[in-house]
Chain A
């Protein structure tokens, strides 16, 4: 059986295309129409995409990652238990934590630790959000919706524990929606380092 060969003609230019001038006129008229529409046309018909930034702001998506905050417990202390999960997960290695024990008479003693120093270098941070993913206690969040305030000094970008605790979330709260079960609460499982599982 002979194969049927489909012959595709080589595209040829017409004389009008070869003469260049009509094509030039076509191109210029297209660009000109665009120009007139965007410059002198009615505002509704303009298609300008530019956002005049400081005066106009584009709304960020709901899960936008702003600067970090440390969430608080009901008594205002940090939820963070200094487990170092976030600083381990951080690809930029910009979280520095010094863990400390609670006092022995504290109900949390032996159950969890707290961060004596919690420092994030926001200039090094790449805003990947891995720290938030890693945290088992919902203690670190990036739901502030804020940019870093600009500054001329690098020191101003080292956010310490107090600063991070003082930044509210987008909804204005310092807490999170996840409830916490403090030692001594009826809902608390009552397991700690000494008594074990």
Chain B
């Protein structure tokens, strides 16, 4: 692999990770959290932020109404005719028409897409006109408004605070959260030289191989733990530096809570390492791709529940949000922060939510693995079928589907975390510690022991073999 390709692909991957996490997921999450809670409580939530178009623009758009509708209808009819023709040709096997089949297919795709786009445009246009020129996009502009507000807000620094540490706190909280994404694989490896071909299902493929993750480290998951535990310092430092008793209490709480759960977090995942026999996240994903998802293993399912609990405590979110605990500590270590510094804490928290979703998806739900999707395309085959329905796909399409599915899994986990956040009441601090040291810790140790027994007695191999055959 040449250095340029390596460099370019690395930069592209970093940009992709940043765009997906900081650019897309985190802002949308800020919106989604409010919106989802509102929907649970029979409210609409933030949906009012709007870009207001001038009346002349609205009038102009209103004029485009009929042409748009006509365009939609015309292109739709052409597309349907093309569809009928293509199906007819496909069924007959020969093409007696004066137009070649390739042109027909192109017409079908082109006019179909145009028709769909025009219909969407018509709908959007109707919405704008109905709202008197306010473009609201479901309230997705709220994060934008939030960001604007954060940037232009007064950046208050308490006069007796430690200025340097006060400013460093949010940075130390945000950076590790993003850095954790360095080792997360988004898809299986990309074979650059064969990107437009159908690859064989198994076996080595020659040529340039690009792993679909920023850094392929041997320590893998341990890197995430190491980096994530730096986040403790961010919370603790900001609590200390704010010169505020509430902040200090919040910082202390955050530090002790995160240190405690750090232990459990690692131990709950040990059974998973034992099954996958690797710490590298891409190997774990590959193992699940070749065998079965981790969650189908009962011990790992137990591990998953414990991991998820510990991870929510680690991200300091409800029901374990005692460091913030606004009913007791005003805002905990966030009390003195305003403007973009507060925004960075916020961002860090939401990026952690995304990271947690990604880790859970990789370790227990097959990462980028899509059911029935192999390196050469789809193969829908059930145990009782003699031969499957095979759909060969080019390599880049396979990769794209994998990335999409991985993002989808993350979205599901984010949704689940938000549900937890809005459904459960807050723990008491002693309950939190009891749950960690007297509940999760012994349970996870027991889980490791049981997993060891299973592996040594060969039960696990048989179980995995059984799942493989299905």
Binding site for B on A (CB under 8 A): 21, 24, 27-28, 30-32, 34-35, 38-39, 47-50, 52, 55
Contacts and interface: CB of A to CB of B under 8 A. Distances in A.
Given A27-B423, A27-B424, A28-B419, A35 B39 contact: yes
B42 A31 contact: no
B39 to A, nearest CB: 4
Contacts of A49: 42-43
A95 B444 CA distance: 74
A188 to B, nearest CB: 52
Contacts of B41: 34
B44 interface: yes
Contacts of A32: 419
B59 to A, nearest CB: 19
B196 interface: no
13 contacts: A21-B305, A24-B420, A24-B424, A27-B424, A28-B420, A28-B424, A31-B419, A34-B39, A35-B36, A35-B39, A50-B43, A50-B44, A52-B48
B420 A38 contact: no
B131 interface: yes
Contacts of B276: none
A31 B418 CA distance: 11
A48 B35 CA distance: 12
Nearest to A31: B423
B226 interface: no
B378 interface: no
Given A28-B420, A50-B43, A52-B48, 11 more contacts: A24-B420, A24-B424, A28-B419, A28-B423, A31-B419, A31-B423, A34-B42, A38-B40, A48-B39, A48-B44, A55-B131
Q: Which 4 A-B pairs have the closest CB atoms?
A: A50-B44, A31-B423, A38-B39, A27-B423
Nearest to B305: A21
Interface string B35-73: 010111111100110000000000000000000000000
Greatest chain A CB density within 10 A among B44, B131, B422, B423 is at B423
A163 to B, nearest CB: 28
A48 B36 contact: no
Contacts of B39: 34-35, 38-39, 48
A34 to B, nearest CB: 5
Contacts of A35: 36, 39-40, 419
A130 B43 CA distance: 35
Interface string B280-309: 000000000000000000000000010000
A48 B42 contact: yes
A34 B420 contact: no
Nearest to B422: A31
Greatest chain B CB density within 10 A among A31, A39, A55 is at A31
A50 B48 CA distance: 12
Contacts of A28: 419-420, 423-424
Interface in B205-235: none
A49 B43 CA distance: 6
Nearest to B439: A20
Interface in B388-427: 419-420, 422-424
B115 to A, nearest CB: 25
Contact of B40 (A34, A50, A52, A55): A34
Nearest to B45: A50
Contacts of A39: 39
Interface string B110-153: 00000000000000000000111000000000000000000000
Contacts of B132: 55
A15 to B, nearest CB: 15
A49 B42 CA distance: 6
Contact of B42 (A21, A30, A47, A55): A47
Contacts of A50: 38, 43-44
B43 A48 contact: yes
A121 B132 CA distance: 33
B130 to A, nearest CB: 8
Contact of A38 (B42, B48, B305, B422): B42
Contacts of B419: 28, 31-32, 35
B264 to A, nearest CB: 16
